[in-house]
Amino acid sequence: MPKMRYAVLKLGETLEFVEMPADHVYQLTALNRRLHKELDKLTADGVPTLPHVIAECDSLDIVDNACTVLHGLEYMNALERSFAQLDEKSYPLISLLTEIRALQAQLEQWYEEEEDA
């Protein structure tokens, strides 16, 4: 069984848990930091509000049924959609979308390889 890792994200009082292959969680954390660094530079209407990655962990035992664990690829797909819908055609959006799509593609490939194995 592949080693999975979890990113804990916080937006206001809400926590999200994202499960990803262990080798990719650090990329999500780095991407999250980059996105927050660049959000203020976007001028389009409807810039998404993003949670902050507040922790990474190797195991996760959810005891509150109200909390769910998001599949890493589902999270990345939603993130990509939220930025792709922005009506802005300049840097930094193009750069940010490239980074989002790169991690998205890596995860797609990883999950495909896992299905084949």
Average pLDDT taken over every residue of the chain: 92
Which carries the bigger pLDDT value, residue 27 or residue 66? Answer: 27
Residue 4 CA to its chain's centroid (Å): 15
What's the confidence (pLDDT) of residue 31? 97
Confidence of residue 1 (pLDDT cuts 50, 70, 90): low
The residue with tokens 């203020």 is: 40
What's the confidence (pLDDT) of residue 42? 87
Residue 53's domain comprises 4-116
pLDDT at 75 over 90: yes
Element (H, E) at 4: strand 4-11
pLDDT at 49 over 80: yes
- Report the domain count for the chain: 1
